[in-house]
Structure 1
Amino acid sequence: MRARVEAAPKFLNLLQIRFPIGAIASIGHRISGVLLVLSLPLLALALDRSLRSEAEFAALRDLVSAPWRAMLLALLVWAATHHLLAGIRHLLMDVGLGSGLSRARTSAWAVIVAAAIVALIAAARWLS
């Protein structure tokens, strides 16, 4: 009778995996979508409050002028920008445009960099 040998459990360390740039853009697309869905109620309330009166708009503007709140808004700007650009990228790849490896990598980099630049511009605008 043979002895049963059990392999030691292997734990997946996500920090050691080197994802391709297309996977990073795709994961960012999913994360940005979740952030946008979770922020919708808050954004709807903010829009409602800002449209009530000029004083309400000024109060809301003062509320979001704190640096950490401005960074949260910049995160939402990143999420919206990244989700839009990555969605367009995925749609174009679905119809066969830019689905070659080099073009797919280039478009993934373009999405990531463009979303980061737009978010940094928004943060700089709110923090100034």
Structure 2
Amino acid sequence: MSNALQKKRPEFRNIHITELSNYRLPLAGIVSILHRISGFLMFALLPVILYLFEKSIVSEISFEHFRGIVSHPVVKLVILALVWAYFQHFAAGVRHLVMDTHIGLDKDSARKSAATVLAISLALTALVALKLFGVF
């Protein structure tokens, strides 16, 4: 085969650290990274949450103590971050399960499902935030 008939193969290079600001990750890639971050966040804080839950159900006094702690705005933000992590991880997990059945694997469908995951997780987190901060 002559060189003129061969197609030029695409060249893939590693990204240098100085090029990271120019690189634009696709929405599906962002959702995938957020899925990993939310899973790690929930896993890392699970022992703390279980310990606090166990201490809060010992007596009414300990429950009121933790109720006072939860009323602090910074603690509410931490709770909200955990709520977001749960919703994000759940919605992205459902997306991955659907993709495991070979549905929505093309580029356009993957972009739409990634946007849907972000919209669902942020909307549900906003609803919980409204309830958590006493709006309704």
TM-score range, shorter chain: 0.7 to 0.9
Query: Which structure 1 residue ranges, 5 or more long, are not aligned?
Result: 1-9
* Corresponding letter in the other structure for 1:127: F
Query: Is residue 74–residue 119 contact of structure 1 (8 Å, CA) maintained in 2?
Result: yes
- What percent identity do the matched residue pairs reach? 34
After TM superposition, list the pairs within 5 Å mapping 1:7-22 onto structure 2.
10-22=16-28
Matched, 1:66 2:46: no
After TM superposition, list the pairs within 5 Å mapping 1:82-121 onto structure 2.
82-121=88-127
Which deviates further from its counterpart, 13-22 or 25-34? 13-22
Which deviates further from its counterpart, 50-59 or 25-34? 50-59
Output the CA distance in 1 between the equivalents of 2:94 and 2:103: 11
Equivalences, count = 119
Which deviates further from its counterpart, 118-127 or 64-73? 118-127
Aligned to 2:7: none
Aligned to 2:56: 50
Output the CA distance in 2 between the equivalents of 1:55 and 1:14: 52
> TM-score, length-normalised on structure 1?
0.84
Structure 1 residues 119 and 101, CA gap change in structure 2 (3 angstroms): same
Output the CA distance in 2 between the equivalents of 1:55 and 1:46: 14
Query: Post-superposition shift, 1:87?
Result: 0.9
* Corresponding letter in the other structure for 1:52: V
Structure 1 residues 65 and 87, CA gap change in structure 2 (3 angstroms): same
Query: Is residue 65–residue 126 contact of structure 1 (8 Å, CA) maintained in 2?
Result: no
Matched, 1:25 2:31: yes
* Corresponding letter in the other structure for 2:129: A
> Secondary structure at the residue paired with 1:52?
coil
Query: Is residue 65–residue 127 contact of structure 1 (8 Å, CA) maintained in 2?
Result: no
**How big is each residue's C-alpha offset from its partner over 1:38-94, in whole Å with a ceiling of 9 and x where there is no partner?**
111111012112222233222212201111110110000000111111011111101
